[in-house]
Amino acid sequence: MKKYVPYFLIAPAFLVLLLLMVYPIIWNIYLSFHDVTLIKLNRAWEPVALRNYFNVITDMYFWESMWVTGKFVVGSVVGQLVFGLILALLLHKKVKGSGMFRVIYIIPWLLSDVIVGFTWQWSYHEKFGMINTLLGKLGIPAIDWLGNPDIAIWAIVITNIWFGTPFTMLFLGSALNTISRELYEAARVDGATRWQQFWYVTIPALKPFIATNLILLTMWTVNLFGLQYVMTGGGPLFSTTTLSLFMYNNAFEYGKLSIGSSIGFILLIINAIAAYFYVKLVQREG
């Protein structure tokens, strides 16, 4: 006999979900179809249909922010996946001290993006930063990490890799525990080398976990805001302005609330597409 949860127990949770998630989305969409600025905030809001979206997609800076976001996401996700997998494999071996190192490697993930941003901003300082100090001892000239438009975004990518790698390490480290030791024993009996065991046993077994991890990393990186805002503010010359920072600047720096809402809805669509692929991957693997 099936047991049903009483409606009065579900209703409070549903109302909280409605207030915290659904209502802000609807309000954001409503703003995007009106002409709303900080100056006109107390006036009647003029309906403008799709004009805000047209203004966004015809703005060269919007597409520039999309290009910057693409570089930021690809660089961050690939770096976090590679280094996270390497650390997960190293710490998976039952050696003395692996537990302590696992705790140490988790520390960056426990910090806020604002704290991480300020810390790395000082580390990248052209004259007083730790990184240039170390390079100077090696005879390498100081690099203007955050002031050079060609390398500023990659400096933030390195920061984000350091910041987000512990999640992948934990995620894939847990996945490694699900692989049966009998598979490795059978591979050794067949004469497989360590590399062949990794490529033909470990990787196939981790494939569904890697797919899920990639989607989660992509969604989080697309929405990341604090690092860019703290470290460069989007500069120099717009070279580190990702889509999330472009949305913030339009809404709160320039006072174009309706434009910011339109960009926010586009960002929501991008996340929805990523979530769709996440669900399809999970269903396929299931």
Q: Does the pLDDT of residue 231 top 90, yes or no?
A: yes
Domains and CATH numbers, the chain: 63-285 (1.10.3720.10)
Confidence (pLDDT) at 43: 81
Range with the lowest mean pLDDT among 84-98, 153-167, 240-254? 84-98
pTM as predicted: 0.88
pLDDT value of residue 211: 85
Amino acid letter, 266: I
Looking at per-residue pLDDT, the higher value among 15 and 181 belongs to: 181
Residues in CB range of 226: below 8 A, 6 or more apart? 112, 113, 114, 116, 117
Q: What is the CA radius of gyration of the chain?
A: 23
Q: Does 222 have pLDDT greater than 70?
A: yes
User: Quick one: pLDDT band at residue 56, thresholds 50, 70, 90?
Assistant: very high
Residue 21 has pLDDT above 90, yes or no: no
pLDDT at residue 1 in the model: 47
- Using DSSP, state whether 164 is helix, strand or coil: helix
pLDDT value of position 3:
55
Amino acid symbol at 259: I
Q: Is residue 145 a contact partner of residue 164, using CB atoms and an 8 Å limit?
A: no
Average pLDDT estimate for 138-150: 93
In which element (H, E) is residue 196 found?
helix 194-197
The average confidence (pLDDT) of the chain is 88
What is the mean predicted confidence (pLDDT) over 73-82?
A: 96
Q: pLDDT tier at 7 (50, 70, 90 boundaries)? A: low
